[in-house]
Amino acid sequence: MSKKGKLLIVGFGPGHFEHITARAKEAIQESDLIIGYKTYVNLIKGLLTDQEIVSTGMTEEVSRAQEAVRQAESGRKVAVISSGDAGVYGMAGLVYEVLMEKGWKEETGVGIEIIPGISAINSCASLLGAPIMHDACTISLSDHLTPWDLIAKRLDAAGQADFVIALYNPKSGRRTRQIVEAQRILLQYRSPETPVGLVKSAYRERQNVILTNLENMLNHDIGMLTTVIIGNSTTKVYDGKMITPRGYQRKYTLDSAVQPLKPSQRLKREAEPWALEQDPNLLKRKSIPTAPEQPQKSGTPENLFAKQEPGSEKPSSLDIAMEALSMVDGTAALQMAPDYIQQPIESIFELAVKPGVANKKFTPEQMITLAEVVGEKGTMEYSPNHQIVLRIPTAEPDEITKKLQSVGFLLAPVGEVLSVKACDFCDGEKYEAIPYAEKIEEKLGGLPLPKKLNIGINGCGMACYQAVMEDIGIVFRKGKFDLFLGAKPVGRTGHAGQLVAEGIEPDQIVDLVTRIVEEYKENAHPNERLFKYFRRVKEIAGFKYKDITPKIKIEPAPCGD
């Protein structure tokens, strides 16, 4: 019996020599015969020595596979070459199909080795930036071997499921309608501004890379050698690159629409609980996630109660009535949401609430509202800052802020922001300093800073709410204010601030505190708390630093001092 032949199914990557794997080169060189499409054989010509070549046209793939099997059965080593990866719309499956038809078994039949290559989705992505990153799929628009109805169904599903999509075989001389149809289907789910990359002949001589968007993609040249990469709902363009974030943004707070989690916060259940507890109903609702608005600090908040039952699929009767009304009075076009469907993506909305600056009393209505908005999946945490921190999984943070404001809560962002901690002014009996506390809250509360900063405001010299222990301490005494700066509010070497000024006129206090905060915000290093900043620069708003750190020797503690 003659020696057993072997099939080497080789993906040689996008086309450039540098991107062919070592095993692929070796396999091509060790074979007796190369079978492949003419253009591909030309691309690897530099590797060939004395191999026999069987090159055919594009549409003869089945006969190429049959020929390869026949040749291997006659005892030869046959390399069947595909661009990219041979298992992605390539020759690998076809060769197996021919073998299966013949009842081939690995043990007794010819040998077969599939040699992986870099597929167009990867080579084209690398030229665009990092558009894949998250869940992605490939769809071939060629209806040569697949019915168009099925391709359309897949486009629809991928659009709906927010996959990044790589379209292979997007268009050819004869097939021009498919890409137009694909764009129409995807525009039902994605914004017209969704970034789209068109890569033609990646890593080949005529390489051409275009960054466009879903709306305008058809205004560019798309052909047989183009791969079209369509971003998901989070894909961004930055400096001419198409970038899809590694995950969805999972957290919003009031001071910025989205805040990425710090590495230390990731994978903690309280920060990322959605994976297990995603509400399946959410995926069916038609609504667009909106960025939270800045907190409204005054004025009558709109009553937006229960426009839609959480989790319900059906529009409420109010929704239907509004829609009908808008149709008759002609405002329909104005009121319409963008006409594509984007499933809401839940994030953790984090914010803090308190009943007032001086007011420390919650009403029953406020407590009920808290329970309602937090629901079963959210958390409420009593914090040392005289406020309750809420963490609520939601796709509609503005609904939550409106409900909380409607019952009189003061809302504040959480994180590296300014908080005002006032005393209760002896239940309002020592009221003189209250307006100043409220003005400071209104002007500076929630301001993002290099590090969290607390302003303590106390209404009399007793300072029983410990204003002097805050980063900035303000104590009202005999109609005027005393100011303390540079307290070290945390750690075993914690200490009160130094008294920098006494008897400040009330009409000056707000501006003076604002100046201090602005100077700190402008000049402090990231993460540098006010006491450290004061110690480093030695002067804030004209006040000189005095070292009042208690001189004690203390063993270092593993988690700080």
Which residues would be at the binding site for ligand SAH (CB under 6 A)? 14-15, 82-85, 88-90, 119-120, 124, 168-169, 199-204, 224-227
Q: Which is nearer to ligand SAH, 182 or 485 (CB)?
A: 182
Look at residue 202 and give its three-state secondary structure: coil
* Identity at 11, one-letter amino acid code: G
* C-alpha distances in Å from residue 327, one per residue of 230, 285, 286, 340: 34, 22, 19, 19
Q: What is the rounded distance in angstroms from the CA atom of residue 402 to the CA atom of residue 430?
A: 32
Q: What is the rounded distance in angstroms from the CA atom of residue 212 to the CA atom of residue 231?
A: 11
Look at residue 399 and give its three-state secondary structure: helix
CB of 227 to ligand SAH, least distance (A): 4
Alpha-carbon torsion (274, 277, 278, 279), positive or negative:
negative
Q: Which is nearer to ligand SAH, 168 or 425 (CB)?
A: 168
* C-alpha distances in Å from residue 140, one per residue of 151, 166, 206, 515: 8, 8, 22, 61
CA 165, distance to chain mean position in Å, is 17
Q: Which is nearer to ligand SAH, 93 or 310 (CB)?
A: 93
Q: Which is nearer to ligand SAH, 25 or 532 (CB)?
A: 25
Contacts of 156 (CB under 8 A, 6+ apart): 185, 188
β partners of residue 129: 242
Q: Which is nearer to ligand SAH, 199 or 475 (CB)?
A: 199
Q: What is the rounded distance in angstroms from the CA atom of residue 266 to the CA atom of residue 28?
A: 46
CB of 345 to ligand SAH, least distance (A): 29
Of all residues in this chain, which one has the CB nearest to ligand SAH in the complex?
Answer: 84
CB of 91 to ligand SAH, least distance (A): 8
Residue (of 200, 202, 196) closest to 183 by Cα position: 196
| Residue 276 tokens, joined | 């297990």
Q: Which is nearer to ligand SAH, 114 or 199 (CB)?
A: 199
Q: Which is nearer to ligand SAH, 141 or 357 (CB)?
A: 141
Residue (of 343, 348, 341, 342) closest to 277 by Cα position: 348
Beta strands in 142-190 (DSSP E): 164-168
Q: Which is nearer to ligand SAH, 199 or 411 (CB)?
A: 199
Q: Which is nearer to ligand SAH, 206 or 551 (CB)?
A: 206
Residue (of 350, 338, 238, 252) closest to 288 by Cα position: 338
CB of 138 to ligand SAH, least distance (A): 8
Q: Are 52 and 85 in contact (CB under 8 A)?
A: no
Q: Are 486 and 530 in contact (CB under 8 A)?
A: yes
CB of 226 to ligand SAH, least distance (A): 6
Q: Which is nearer to ligand SAH, 207 or 249 (CB)?
A: 207
* C-alpha distances in Å from residue 358, one per residue of 361, 426, 428, 438, 484: 9, 9, 8, 8, 20
Q: What is the rounded distance in angstroms from the CA atom of residue 495 to the CA atom of residue 511?
A: 26
β partners of residue 392: 349
Q: What is the rounded distance in angstroms from the CA atom of residue 422 to the CA atom of residue 446?
A: 15
Q: What is the rounded distance in angstroms from the CA atom of residue 398 to the CA atom of residue 375?
A: 16
H-helix or E-strand containing 93? helix 92-101
CB of 39 to ligand SAH, least distance (A): 10
Q: Which is nearer to ligand SAH, 226 or 347 (CB)?
A: 226
